[in-house]
């Protein structure tokens, strides 16, 4: 029998215990051994979780229990969880975690401590979608050319509503908060940080890039407006918050931001709270993985799959870790060197000569205009909605600074990258 200790018995932890009980028949059959949750650690001992396991408020009760084989870390947060996982690995216990923030900051240190002890984290990216399994095993014959994913259900829900129902950003955020999809302070989701944590985990698996969130380009969806949606519709795009990892010779670019993406792309067709990740391998071409990115049962499904894998593998480490990326010897591409097509929304005073001055500035910055749409916003101002051919991030940022300083430009232009 394999005995499990759960540190952090909240929504996901409760689901893990429940699945191990509900589906014990197939789980035992597949693991080749019974798996049982022995104990769980919580902050508040008074709350009844309806589980028949030993509950304690001291993590050491699990970490020091010689009968516990697998520690499931679901407490969230970074530094406290880091200490707990280190201690578990050092006492020779296998660890399964769904904690993306922990991994975004400490994945390499933990991998180093784990060595040959199983350290698994399928649930940390895209909840119930077995994307890490796919990268590690299913696509192991490939050099990975790119990963592009909808990794935050909250943002995708909001973008879908704005796109298909014409709801404003403010209203859809309020609605997402009421539905429990977004927090009271929604920054972590709508600012792109949650997606960035997940992207860093996938990028380490694919490319061995040891970057922290601070090192990469992270922007959110806060500036997307009805005019941008109208432009997207006019030119056949969807707007999505994407996490993107892309290999270019010996460099990898990592970025999270709102994107205009052609509606015919599979990933553009993923709507609502669902997640989806497209992976392009040099041999297989594009494969895409779709499913629920959050929720107790979906996330717990991935946690339990890791536990089954560990139980089946006995002493051997079932899956390769961050120390064995799909690619080697790659470095992070500096943000200013990123190349992309861009969309700009520039609110200008509607005066004679303004358009000519602005298009001249594009030329001066080596940026070539692909499409342009002008929409009046009042009797004396208009939005210029402009898409460009491929340009350099550095050039576009300079252009935006220049534009923002002009008298007839009414506010800082809004930019969305086109993929």
The token pair that represents 222 in the structure block: 């806060």
Contact 7, 72 (CB under 8 A): yes
Query: Between residues 35 and 42, which has the closer beta carbon with respect to a second copy?
Result: 35
Mark the segment that binds a second copy (CB under 8 A) among 44-52, 53-61, 111-119, 296-304: 296-304
| Smallest separation (angstroms) from a second copy to the CB of 289 | 6
Helical segments of 235-322, H only: 296-313
Query: Catalytic pick from 38, 100, 161, 198?
Result: 198
| Smallest separation (angstroms) from a second copy to the CB of 386 | 30
The token pair that represents 160 in the structure block: 């879908």
| Count of CA atoms in the C-beta half-sphere (13 A) of 80 | 11
Q: Is 47 a catalytic residue?
A: no
289 lies in the site for a second copy, by CB under 8 A: yes
Strands 2-7 and 70-73: parallel
What is the C-alpha to C-alpha distance for residues 306 and 74, in angstroms, rounded to an integer?
A: 14
Choose which of 4, 139, 158, 415 interacts with a second copy (CB under 8 A): 139
The token pair that represents 220 in the structure block: 């959110």
328 lies in the site for a second copy, by CB under 8 A: yes
| Smallest separation (angstroms) from a second copy to the CB of 320 | 6
Contact 38, 3 (CB under 8 A): yes
Contact 121, 89 (CB under 8 A): no
Strands 274-281 and 2-7: unpaired
Give all strands of the β-sheet with 94-97 in edge-to-edge order.
54-56, 35-41, 2-7, 70-73, 94-97, 119-120
Contact 419, 260 (CB under 8 A): yes
Contact 326, 142 (CB under 8 A): yes
| Smallest separation (angstroms) from a second copy to the CB of 42 | 22
Residue 33-62 contact track with a second copy, rule CB under 8 A, x = bound: ------------------------------
76 lies in the site for a second copy, by CB under 8 A: no
125 lies in the site for a second copy, by CB under 8 A: no
| Smallest separation (angstroms) from a second copy to the CB of 301 | 4
Mark the segment that binds a second copy (CB under 8 A) among 153-161, 191-199, 321-329, 396-404: 321-329
29 lies in the site for a second copy, by CB under 8 A: yes
Which residues of the chain form contacts with a second copy (CB under 8 A)?
15, 19, 22-23, 25-27, 29-30, 122, 128-130, 133-134, 137-143, 266, 269-270, 281-292, 295, 297-298, 300-302, 304-305, 308-309, 316, 320, 324, 326-328
Question: Which residues are known to be catalytic?
Answer: 198
């Amino acid at each position: 029998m394999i005995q499990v200790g759960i540190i952090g018995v909240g929504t996901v932890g409760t689901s893990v215990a429940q699945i191990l009980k509900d589906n014990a028949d197939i789980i035992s059959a597949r693991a080749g051994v019974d798996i049982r949750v022995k104990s769980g650690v919580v902050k508040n001992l008074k709350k009844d979780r309806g589980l028949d396991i030993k509950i304690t408020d001291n993590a050491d009760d699990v970490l020091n229990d010689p009968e516990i084989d697998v520690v499931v870390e679901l407490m969230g947060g970074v530094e406290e969880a880091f200490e707990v996982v280190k201690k578990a690995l050092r006492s020779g216990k296998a660890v399964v975690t769904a904690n993306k923030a922990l991994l975004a900051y400490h994945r390499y240190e933990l991998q180093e401590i784990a060595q040959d002890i199983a350290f698994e984290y399928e649930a940390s990216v895209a909840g119930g979608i077995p994307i890490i399994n796919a990268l590690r095993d299913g696509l192991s014959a490939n050099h990975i050319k790119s990963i592009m994913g909808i990794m935050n259900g909250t943002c995708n829900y909001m973008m879908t509503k704005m796109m298909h129902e014409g709801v404003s950003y403010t209203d859809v955020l309020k609605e997402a908060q009421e539905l429990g999809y977004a927090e009271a302070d929604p920054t972590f989701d709508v600012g792109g940080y949650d997606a960035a944590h997940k992207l860093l985990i996938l990028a380490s698996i694919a490319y061995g890039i040891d970057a922290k969130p601070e090192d990469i380009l992270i922007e959110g969806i806060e500036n997307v407006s009805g005019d941008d949606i109208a432009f997207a519709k006019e030119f056949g795009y969807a707007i999505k918050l994407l996490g993107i990892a892309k290999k270019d010779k010996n460099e990898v670019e990592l970025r999270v931001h709102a994107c205009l993406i052609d509606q015919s792309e599979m990933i553009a067709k993923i709507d609502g709270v669902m997640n989806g990740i497209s992976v392009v391998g040099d041999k297989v071409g594009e494969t895409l993985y779709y499913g629920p990115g959050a929720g107790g049962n979906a996330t717990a499904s991935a946690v339990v799959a890791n536990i089954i894998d560990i139980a089946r593998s006995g002493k051997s480490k079932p899956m390769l870790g961050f120390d064995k990326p799909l690619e080697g010897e790659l470095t992070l591409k500096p943000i200013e060197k990123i190349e992309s097509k861009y969309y700009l929304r520039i609110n200008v005073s509607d005066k004679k000569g303004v358009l000519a001055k602005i298009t001249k500035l594009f030329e001066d910055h080596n940026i070539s205009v692909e499409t342009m749409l002008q929409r009046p916003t009042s009797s004396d101002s208009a939005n210029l909605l402009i898409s460009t051919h491929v340009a350099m991030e550095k050039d576009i940022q300079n252009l935006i600074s220049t534009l923002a300083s002009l008298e007839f430009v009414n506010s800082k232009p809004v930019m969305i990258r086109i993929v």
